[in-house]
Structure 1
Amino acid sequence: MFSTKLKQLRLARGLTLDGLAEKMGGIVTKQALSKYEKGLTSPTPAVLTKLADALSVKSAELFRESRYNVELVAYRKRATLLKRDQEEIESLVRESLDERLRLQSLVQEDGRLNLPVRKFKVERLEDAETAAMELRKKWNLGEAPVADVIALLEDRLIHVFEVEGVSEKFDGISALAYDQEGGIKGAAVVSRKLVAGERQRLNIVHELGHVVLDIAEDVDEEKAAFRFAGAFLAPAAVMYREVGKSRTSIQLRELLLLKKLFGMSIQALLFRLRDLKIINDSAYKWSCIQVNRMNMRLREPGELPREEPQWLKRNVLRAVSEGVLPRDEAERLIGEPLEEEHRQFLDRRAFMRLPVEERRKILEEQAKALQEHYEELAEREEPGGGDFLD
């Protein structure tokens, strides 16, 4: 429906009615835009074109209904998150997931989703611990720490993306997309951008927990998701092996090494140590006092690098190379221009359309360049060599 799609796109672009009117050059007022979104009036063809340009879409996109119903599974936010911020985040998530599912279809990656939605029952917090290990087993992860959480999820076609320019009161959200028959077609876990790598990882796995856990009504949902995330990133068996089963004290330098090993913040690690009863409540409280005293609540030492999603850009470039996605649409999706170096490295069809003589010339030049490369390598080799490590 045009009115719904218009509002969703506007909010997803982070625009107010005033902002959209200004971006359109003032050809319509915010009151007129409000009427469009409420379905009270319709824009003229000229206004429709300006609307599409301002929202960076084609006019037809404003009338395209999604093939999917997007459900927002969980919403981690503080009580003071403004309604406008909430609407913007929800619209952005719905629009982004819908776009990714369309891209999935273009590159024929449908059907590879590997996600047990609400399959693990949690009737007490300890069940979240078991659920984390069951999911690791299902995904054949063993007990080793996860090196790259985003790559792990994207490999299972679980979309990971981050939102920026939103309130710091927002932490994360999960979403599921269903087709018209009620089948699950896609999933996304979303967190706020520009947080340290250790916090980013915990946020993402926390949101994953909201998707896979079936939490009883009398269990605190946030605590269950947090317990799941801690267990998934730092399995109990590995923690006991690395730290021991009972500790009366632990040094900051040891915590920094554990932070690097598990990819978790010092504060999350302390919470995990308490969950596993490696430290008692008294030791945990004392550690939290030290965290406050050292001003580490908001920013810890040894911040880890952030992980970067790769699925979208990789598949946008794939779709462009295969000729199933227009260049301008590709640039909008990845938010950057496709420079010369992004052109197809290998385009067999374009090569075969060239005249025979031109093809022969290109092949000869490539063969000559390859021969020169090998000759240069041979000249660099030194006789003797000896052991690599001596």
Structure 2
Amino acid sequence: MDNTFAQRLVNARKIRCMSQRELCNSVDGKVSPTAIAKYEKGLMMPSSDVLILLSNALNMKLDYFFRPYTIDIDPSKFEFRKKSSMGSKKVESIKYLVCSEIEKYLEIEAILGITSKFCFDYGNTTVEGENEAKLLALRLRNDLNIGSDAIVSAIDLLESVGVKIIEIEHDSSFSGTCNEAGGLPVIVVNKNMCSERKRLTIFHELGHLLMYCADGVDKEKMCNVFANEVLIPSDKFKNLIGESRHDISLVELQAMQREYGISVDALMVKAAQLNIITDRRFTSYHKKKNALPTFKEAVEQSLYPMEHTCRFERLVYRALASEVISYSKAAALLDKSVNEVRDTLNLM
């Protein structure tokens, strides 16, 4: 029996958050739960008619079920630090969806003969507190040759050094996760988040992949410090806002938000961490925010241009334009129709 089909069927069902019985119901009982169980165990193959029913019910193209596995990715290694709020089915759905996306990403690179490498290894540094987390962030900035400049696109920057960024549309309670595949770091973010939150999440997840924390250290907190420092170094922040302040205007913070792509909330956290403002002033800021809806709306307004990953799609169209892959292959990789791919290609 075809074990590829069996595993693909399991994966597709988990991606769609469906049980075997729910899948059975979605095809109006034309396939029994027993038959679905046998398909998933590789004990039986469906007829062409049943295959079409399953494909439609799972909203997966037919060729998905027979695409060979090109790389072994362990879904269990994705970290979900807030998984209780989503439920196990949604967590599992994200894991298998991301594995499928990574597979396609690495496949198109292999087709084009592209060998990606990620050369940064900070295993010789142990983070014991905020200072070490900040120093690691500055070390990364130095390795990326960006000095203290604003990062125009977090996605483009990291993809240029081998990090795989996967954007998915999923539950609003999901922000991001990370893993490794083929020796490369993989960062997954919710496509629908505002730009500032997405950028902070990307570097937070990178912190989880790069940072080695001493026993007892709160890694979540250190990753937040790391991400904040990557987006705007403390020295640059102090230069812009001053060493000590009693009050800070929203106009000042929004100017930094527009340039550095970091939220007002995150900037206020940084001001408190650097003792630029007192803990009491930081607390009063949150009280004002919670008490005044118009102020809260102004503070949480997204001002930085949205950024999305487009490298995978670009590689697929490069392969298609170079006649390395067919239109049908490109459509399968992009999850689009052949006509959509033809219309988009627009050869020069």
Aligned counterparts, 1:248-327, within 5 A: 248-295=246-293, 296=296, 300-327=300-327
* CA displacement 1:187-232 (0-9 Å, x = unmatched): 2211112121111111111111111111223111210110110000
TM-aligned CA distance change 1:83 to 1:109, over 3 Å: same
Cα RMSD (Å) of the superposition? Answer: 2.7
Corresponding residue number in structure 2 for 1:376: none
Q: How many residue pairs are counted as aligned between the two chains?
A: 336
* CA displacement 1:321-355 (0-9 Å, x = unmatched): 1222231232243344114451432xxxxxxxxxx
Task: Quote how far apart the aligned CAs of 1:8 are.
Answer: 1.6
TM-aligned CA distance change 1:275 to 1:299, over 3 Å: closer
Q: Given that residues 113 and 156 in structure 1 are in contact (C-alpha distance below 8 angstroms), is that contact kept between their aligned partners in structure 2?
A: yes
Q: Matched residues in 2 for 1:45 and 1:311: separation?
A: 37
Corresponding residue number in structure 2 for 1:42: 44
Q: Given that residues 180 and 186 in structure 2 are in contact (C-alpha distance below 8 angstroms), is that contact kept between their aligned partners in structure 1?
A: yes
Q: Matched residues in 1 for 2:277 and 2:20: separation?
A: 53
TM-aligned CA distance change 1:105 to 1:299, over 3 Å: farther
Corresponding residue number in structure 1 for 2:333: 333
Local SS of the residue matching 1:189: strand
Q: Matched residues in 2 for 1:73 and 1:124: separation?
A: 25
Does residue 128 of the first structure (1) align with residue 128 of the second (2)? no
TM-score, length of structure 1 as denominator length? 0.78
Does residue 94 of the first structure (1) align with residue 109 of the second (2)? no
Q: Given that residues 264 and 299 in structure 2 are in contact (C-alpha distance below 8 angstroms), is that contact kept between their aligned partners in structure 1?
A: no
- Give the gaps of 5 or more residues in structure 2: none
* CA displacement 1:40-71 (0-9 Å, x = unmatched): 73223536743467521427735x33423346
Q: Matched residues in 1 for 2:313 and 2:171: separation?
A: 26
Corresponding residue number in structure 1 for 2:177: 173
- Give the gaps of 5 or more residues in structure 1: 179-183, 346-390
Corresponding residue number in structure 2 for 1:5: 8
Amino acid at match of 1:311: R
Task: Quote how far apart the aligned CAs of 1:318 are.
Answer: 0.5
Amino acid at match of 1:82: G
Q: Matched residues in 2 for 1:171 and 1:265: separation?
A: 15
TM-aligned CA distance change 1:251 to 1:320, over 3 Å: same
Q: Which has the greater radius of gyration?
A: 1
Does residue 159 of the first structure (1) align with residue 159 of the second (2)? no
Corresponding residue number in structure 2 for 1:352: none
* CA displacement 1:66-122 (0-9 Å, x = unmatched): 423346353232532211100001111111111111111111211333443756421
TM-aligned CA distance change 1:325 to 1:15, over 3 Å: farther
Q: Matched residues in 2 for 1:299 and 1:16: separation?
A: 42
Corresponding residue number in structure 2 for 1:384: none
TM-aligned CA distance change 1:96 to 1:153, over 3 Å: same
TM-aligned CA distance change 1:8 to 1:121, over 3 Å: farther
Choose 134-143 or 23-32, whichever is displaced more.
23-32
Task: Quote how far apart the aligned CAs of 1:25 are.
Answer: 7.4
Local SS of the residue matching 2:79: strand
Aligned counterparts, 1:24-35, within 5 A: 27-35=30-38
TM-aligned CA distance change 1:15 to 1:124, over 3 Å: same
Corresponding residue number in structure 2 for 1:351: none
Amino acid at match of 2:197: R
Q: Matched residues in 2 for 1:329 and 1:201: separation?
A: 32
Local SS of the residue matching 2:181: strand
TM-score, length of structure 2 as denominator length? 0.86
Does residue 138 of the first structure (1) align with residue 134 of the second (2)? no
Local SS of the residue matching 2:255: helix
